[in-house]
Structure 1
Amino acid sequence: MLQGLMRNPERLKALAKEAKEFALQHGVVMRTVETPDSSEVVTYAPFTLFPTPVPKAVFHQALAVQTHFNTLVDKISQDPGFLEEALASTVQADDFTAKLFDIYRQVQREGRTQSIVLGVNRSDYMPNQREDGTCSLKQMEINTISAGSFGVTGLLPVVHRHILRLVGLLEESQHVPDNNTLAAVVRALAKAWELYGQQKAVFMFLVEDVQISKLSHRCIENELWKRDIPVIRRKFEDVVKTGYLNGDKKMFVDGLEVAVVYYRYGYVPNNYKEQTWEARLLMERSLAVKCPDIGTHLAGTKKVQQELARPGVLERFFPDQPQVVEQIRATFAGQYTLDMVRE
């Protein structure tokens, strides 16, 4: 069926047009690069015409191991010795990581003001086909900051089912699973705000100047508002101008107490300049719950991922839990350092 479609470019064009219109009808949208502040001009979020088949075994493997990865990230974020050792060469070569680590050191010296940490982590995998034809799951990276697009990805199963039905693949359409990530993320975000314990405190999205993905963020915001959780959106510059800590290290921005800082920005070097580094330090020193905190951000670096693949390192975090170590290690792909190492 699909091979026949590949030989019929006109039919493929018609299906692509149908898919785009169906996606727009169902809210799979984003703003455009040309008009990033306009909600009158939008486009569909990028997606594949057909869903990608994934072996059921590796799909369930990914679900089962994610809890262990979340635990691992949390343990790493609270292990200054490991982070310092793992990132020793990186902070010498990369100014961005060095500045993040300076903030981490300062927070550790002062003592963590907030013991609650919210992690919204996303693992990216590829199925790896062995010579015997079976598949194994291999992790490409784990993202611990600004993992997003939940409002969009949750709608894609509807689009894919529709396209499969159009080409007569009715049985296949029934095997496209729902994606309920948005609901799970909102529950976690709401719990962080609840644990902060101040109903008048706000939930703050830390956002960028050009917000092409703002409509996806709105899906989360709307669900939080339904729970009577007040939401604000602020940029680094806003925190610089109006942000401060009181004597209890509660953070205020524009006079509003901030319960949670949800980083939708601040994950690459060009997101920062001198004053925004000061804002990042202010937020990290505050009582607000961070998603993620600076330790969790560092735990998601590629260098840490490479260090974890070294023999014996996982056992440090899961002593006497060989089955957990085995489950995690089974997903590792080859990781190789860029350090100048003499043989």
Structure 2
Amino acid sequence: MATGWGSLLQDEQQLEELARQAVDRALAEGVLLRTSQEPSSSDVVSYAPFTLFPSLVPSALLEQAYAVQMDFNLLVDAVSQNAAFLEQTLSSTIKRDNFTAHLFDIHKQVLKEGIAQTVFLGLNRSDYMFQRNADGSAALKQIEINTISASFGGLASRTPAVHRARVLLIAQEKERNIFDQRAIENELLARNIHVIRRKFEDVSEKGSLDQDRRLFMDDQEVAVVYFRDGYMPSHYSLQNWGARLLLERSCAVKCPDIATQLAGTKKVQQELSRSGMLEVLLPGQPEAVARLRATFAGLYSLDMGEEGDQAITEAIAAPSCFVLKPQREGGGNNLYGEEMVQALERLKDSEERASYILMEKIEPEPFGNCLLRPGSPARVVQCISELGIFGVYVRQRKTLVMNKHVGHLLRTKAIEHADGGVAAGVAVLDNPYPV
């Protein structure tokens, strides 16, 4: 903790006063969430959870995370364009994971009839933790990359420089994180770009394509479709899958298109860690490959066979060293410890295990901070942080016309919580204090 913070954390009365001031400032600045009791209404809101103090982050690791983001943008884009790689990598997963299978079916149908979309927009967030090494140093290790609905960035305002037109934002009806999305809408509106906010059901009922596969919503042509929904199985009904296919068949720019969403699956992440795979996908770019590989943690396939059997045996023998991850986004889905062991015992003889990957558990150095949440007293707890770096890229057919890192997100949680993000009610918003 930086000089002066330690004494503040020890003074309970001063801590409470600082917390009150910080909450007032958060409310004034619009750092808001809808309440869990009223997720579809803004009549009652509260401040989004956040840390009282910025958390210390090694400046070298922060710089490394920024430097490698454009490499990850290139890698995600390369994966999304490599249909053979996606099909081979996800072949075992789609047999047992209906959600990924549905996404892949849409991908195949669009490929079969020819992709109408010519401009491709990626808005990714690569998440990391700081691995504690035996010598006391820290290393940047990637947890995952989010290729759809990478929230809390407010970064879709980067799109006007590419395509000034109407934007369709696909959102959930009950959305607590509405103010993060409103910030994006307001920024676009300030640039005279209008946002149409609709649900999948609205698209199904009122969306249409003309003979050139231009997308229309309520008789208004749509240039860009930005997804803040559609990343979990519960987001889809049969009607919603039809709406997603309609959007994907259009020539509108999707953020992300279906191939890019598939590129963000855990199974693809695991396959990318295999020796030689990055060189295949990013030929002639050894420096980018080195930067990417330096952030990879251990990732292990659970496909049927000797390799998967060995990974399961090692995880059951040393559960504290691994995390079991399904093909899911949104936080709160990973399995740890005894819960992981029970799941592996159940899955080890079933092909269902191919819908999971096993990951080396990252061990960051805990630190003290005060986590502020509505209805909870200010108190100092031991925490760990997760750093997300946002990246945006635009590709015109096969030509990459923009590739940038565009900001960061630091989320901090008490060490008692193994998994979960801000929207899941576990982590809180934070800011890095480079040291």
TM bucket, shorter chain: 0.7 to 0.9
2:221 alignment partner, SS class: strand
Q: Deviations over 1:176-204 (max 9, x none)?
A: xxxxxx4xx412x223433xxxx5xx210
Q: 2:174 aligned with 1:203, yes or no?
A: no
Q: Distance in 1 between matches of 2:201 and 2:213?
A: 20
TM-fit CA distance, 1:35 = 2.0
2:126 alignment partner, SS class: strand
Q: Distance in 1 between matches of 2:39 and 2:69?
A: 34
**Structure 1 unaligned spans of 5+:** 152-181
Q: Distance in 1 between matches of 2:160 and 2:61?
A: 31
Q: Which residue of 2 aligns with 1:56?
A: 59
Q: How much is the aligned-residue C-alpha RMSD, in angstroms?
A: 1.5
Matches within 5 A, 1:24-103: 24-103=27-106
Q: Which amino acid in structure 1 is aligned with residue 216 of structure 2?
A: F
CA contact (8 A) 2:169 2:197 kept: yes
Matches within 5 A, 1:253-264: 253-264=217-228
Matches within 5 A, 1:259-338: 259-338=223-302
1:87 alignment partner, SS class: helix
CA contact (8 A) 1:192 1:260 kept: no
Higher helix share: 1
Q: Distance in 2 between matches of 1:74 and 1:115?
A: 14
CA contact (8 A) 1:193 1:203 kept: no
Q: Distance in 2 between matches of 1:40 and 1:79?
A: 46
Q: 1:56 to 1:243 in 2, by over 3 A?
A: same
Q: Which residue of 1 aligns with 2:134?
A: 131
Q: Distance in 2 between matches of 1:304 and 1:282?
A: 25
CA contact (8 A) 1:129 1:136 kept: yes
Q: Which amino acid in structure 2 is aligned with residue 190 of structure 1?
A: P
1:118 alignment partner, SS class: strand
2:226 alignment partner, SS class: strand
Aligned equivalent of 1:113, options 111, 116, 122: 116
CA contact (8 A) 1:30 1:44 kept: yes
1:53 alignment partner, SS class: strand
Q: Distance in 2 between matches of 1:221 and 1:50?
A: 29
Q: Distance in 1 between matches of 2:149 and 2:36?
A: 19
Q: Which residue of 1 aligns with 2:160?
A: 190
Aligned equivalent of 2:205, options 232, 237, 241: 241
CA contact (8 A) 1:260 1:289 kept: yes
TM-fit CA distance, 1:14 = 2.8
Q: Deviations over 1:101-132 (max 9, x none)?
A: 00001111111101211100001111112222
Identity of aligned residues (%): 53
Q: Which amino acid in structure 1 is aligned with residue 219 of structure 2?
A: G
2:129 alignment partner, SS class: strand
1:137 alignment partner, SS class: strand
CA contact (8 A) 1:118 1:192 kept: no
CA contact (8 A) 2:40 2:173 kept: no
TM-fit CA distance, 1:22 = 1.5
Q: Which amino acid in structure 2 is aligned with residue 114 of structure 1?
A: Q
CA contact (8 A) 1:77 1:296 kept: yes
Count of residues in Structure 1 that have an aligned counterpart in Structure 2? 304
Q: Which residue of 1 aligns with 2:149?
A: 146
Q: 1:268 to 1:192 in 2, by over 3 A?
A: farther
**Structure 2 unaligned spans of 5+:** 311-435
Q: Which residue of 2 aligns with 1:177?
A: none
Q: Distance in 2 between matches of 1:7 and 1:149?
A: 31
Q: Distance in 1 between matches of 2:59 and 2:7?
A: 26
Q: More displaced, 42-51 or 93-102?
A: 42-51
CA contact (8 A) 2:200 2:243 kept: yes
TM-fit CA distance, 1:212 = 1.4
TM score, norm. by length of structure 2: 0.67
1:150 alignment partner, SS class: coil
Q: More displaced, 292-301 or 51-60?
A: 51-60
1:257 alignment partner, SS class: strand
Q: Distance in 2 between matches of 1:37 and 1:95?
A: 28
CA contact (8 A) 1:103 1:281 kept: yes
Q: More displaced, 309-318 or 45-54?
A: 45-54
Q: Deviations over 1:297-326 (max 9, x none)?
A: 000011100000011100011222221111
Q: 1:90 to 1:192 in 2, by over 3 A?
A: farther
Q: Which amino acid in structure 2 is aligned with residue 213 of structure 1?
A: N
Higher strand share: 2
Q: Distance in 2 between matches of 1:31 and 1:7?
A: 32
1:43 alignment partner, SS class: strand
